[in-house]
Amino acid sequence: MGQEEWDQLLMGRAVEEAMRGRGGVEPNPMVGCVIGREGRIIGLGHHQRYGGPHAERVALGSCGESTFGASAYVTLEPCCHLNKRTPPCVPALIEAGIGEVVVGCIDPNPLVRGGGIEQLRAAGVAVRVGVMEEVCRQLIAPYVAGVVHHRPYVTMKWAQSADGKIAGPGGVRLQISNEESMRMVHRLRAKCDGILVGIGTVLSDDPMLVAKDQPDARPLIRYVLDRRLEIPLESKLVRSARESAVVVACENEAIAGSKADQLRQMGVQLLEADSIAAVLSDAHKRRITHLLVEPGPRLARAFFDGGWVDRLWVFQSQLTINDPAAPTAATIPDEYQLTGSTNLHGDELTEYLNPRSNVFFHPSASADFHWAKD
């Protein structure tokens, strides 16, 4: 096997490893590491949990033989900064006698940005940068969204019938997806730390917006875009606001009224925000790294028009509603790239990436279904 093929194989394995950390490592990036020597993989690992050991240390610890002179393939530049929860990885690689470090992409965090590579080289370790670079950057898109663009990564998802309807006649709530799709949605919610809907959906569906039966779910902040504070006091969201955060984004006039006081007394947090940009900025301040938007057609169009979507998941069922009075799904912009699809006991889940997103680097996220199907 030639060097280039070997590089692709090992970095490809490191990317797969990294993806296993999704939903556990945030706000850190997902990172994977593979240690190889003389045509063999001798160790591998990934960053599993925020605050837990980084991929390089896990991979080094997994080697059953000496790592002296071996090559370490890391999807992201090893860290060198000290003001964080875990010790830096560069000294660990140097102490382990690693001969060469192959880096997927440079860490965009201003505290690192090339510093790890410099330290390795200064210690006499050979470093090559940029193997599968764009794929490795796509892997850390939520992290780039946070550290570079100060916003969460946005996944939008909806369910539609075979004839493109998202609800029953007049917008009445209907179970469109099958059980397997629903399970997948709850797995997806469990990997996110924010979820957002429009007031139209609250008024018609009265959703709870939680990740059901997911023991490893992250705390989920629930957002509603509701300009005039129409959210009913008896809605499930308001009634559960003390157990799990609910943020209602409204206009300036609404925030001073008596309804606002009632909502606050019930534990709802109010945010004066007149744009999606302002809501995303608030989500970033609350350390939300991955926001799941579950829109009706109006909110979906607003997110498309503003260019706020990074990734789209559409669940299409085999059910036909066949009623012109039932609302139709928003039109997916032509430029969106289909990156993968998977069959869920008859329903079809299709993933698209927005190539105009400032965290789009490579259409490689299709492999991203595996964690949700575990």
Which of 4, 5, 16, 56 does the annotation list as catalytic? 56
Contact 155/35 with Cβ under 8 angstroms? no
Q: Looking at beta carbons only, is 75 or 161 nearer to ligand NAP?
A: 161
CB of 207 to ligand NAP, least distance (A): 8
Beta sheet of 32-37, edge-to-edge order:
40-46, 32-37, 71-76, 100-105, 126-129
Q: Give the integer Cα–Cα distance in Å for 57 and 39.
A: 21
Three-state DSSP state, 160: strand
Buried b (16+ CB within 10 A) or exposed e, 86-104: eebbbebbbebebeebbbb
Q: Which residue lies nearest ligand NAP, judged by its C-beta?
A: 296
153 or 303, CB closer to ligand NAP?
Answer: 303
CA-based nearest residue to 73, from 140, 130, 116: 130
In 3-state terms the chain splits into helix, strand, coil percentages (rounded to 5) of: 30, 20, 45
Residue 56 a catalytic site member? yes
Type and span of the H or E element at 348? strand 347-353
Please report how close the Cβ of residue 347 comes to ligand NAP at its closest, in angstroms. 12
CB of 192 to ligand NAP, least distance (A): 15
Contacting residues toward ligand NAP, per CB under 6 A: 158-159, 166-167, 171, 173, 176, 197-201, 204-205, 225, 227, 276, 294-299, 302, 327
Nearer to ligand NAP, 66 or 275 (CB): 275
Rounded distance, CA 90 to CA 103, Å?
12
Residue closer to ligand NAP, measured from CB, 32 or 296: 296
- Residue 298 tokens read as 């109006």
Cα-based torsion angle of the residue sequence 149, 15, 97, 126 in order, rounded to the nearest 10 degrees: -70
How many other C-beta atoms can be found within 10 angstroms of the C-beta atom of residue 83?
5
From CA 270, how far away is CA 262, in angstroms rounded? 11
State residue 311 phi and psi, 5-degree precision. -140, 145
- Residue environment code for 34-73, b if the CB has 16+ CB neighbours within 10 A, otherwise e: bbbbeeeebbbbbbeeeeebbbbbbbbeebeeebeebbbb
Q: CB-wise, 65 or 274, nearer to ligand NAP?
A: 274
- Between residues 186 and 227, which has the closer beta carbon with respect to ligand NAP? 227
Minimum CB distance to ligand NAP, residue 163 (Å): 13
Nearer to ligand NAP by C-beta: 176 or 283? 176
| 3-state SS assignment for residue 142 | helix
> Cβ of residue 370: shortest distance to ligand NAP, in angstroms?
23
Segment (H or E) for 13: helix 3-19
Residues classed as catalytic: 56
